[in-house]
Amino acid sequence: MKLIMAIVQDKDTNRLTDALAEHDYKSTKLATRGGFLKEGNTTLMIGVDDGQVDHVLEIIEENCSKRDQMVAPISPMGGNADSYIPKPVKVEVGGANVFVLPVESFFHF
């Protein structure tokens, strides 16, 4: 058994959870926040049998799109001046960061 942890942008969450549900994969949704852009994202925890991992990864890849986004300057006030961005820059956002972890046992009460 595996635990798939997928960190996705909030904009992709509903599309992904709907696609997972269509294939009878259950997930637990956690609201999380990214470190670089400081924007909301969602971490989905999906428990599957070993043979289902590739199929779930395909569903995640199909439903989490990458896109470009302009990031406004971040003021160094109250923060670290080393990370100051003086003008808007284009960054790639979206997609998914996915971790597949082994699970020794699972209980549902």
Q: What is the pLDDT, as a whole number, of residue 38?
A: 61
Q: What is the pLDDT, as a whole number, of residue 9?
A: 86
Instruction: Please compute the mean of the pLDDT values over residues 9-29 and round it to a whole number.
Output: 93
Instruction: Please compute the mean of the pLDDT values over residues 71-97 and round it to a whole number.
Output: 63
Distance CA 87, CA 68 (A): 16
Q: Please compute Rg for the chain using Cα positions.
A: 17
- Which pLDDT tens digit goes with each residue over 31-71? 887 655 566 789 999 999 999 999 999 999 999 887 666 66
What average pLDDT is seen over the chain? Answer: 83
Distance CA 50, CA 102 (A): 9
- Which pLDDT tens digit goes with each residue over 96-106? 899 999 999 88
Q: What is the pLDDT, as a whole number, of residue 76?
A: 55
Instruction: Please compute the mean of the pLDDT values over residues 26-34 and round it to a whole number.
Output: 87
- What one-character DSSP code corresponds to residue 103? -
**DSSP code string of 52-101:** GHHHHHHHHHHH--EEEEEE--B--TTS-GGG-B-S-EEEEEESEEEEEE
Chain CA centroid to CA 30, Å: 10
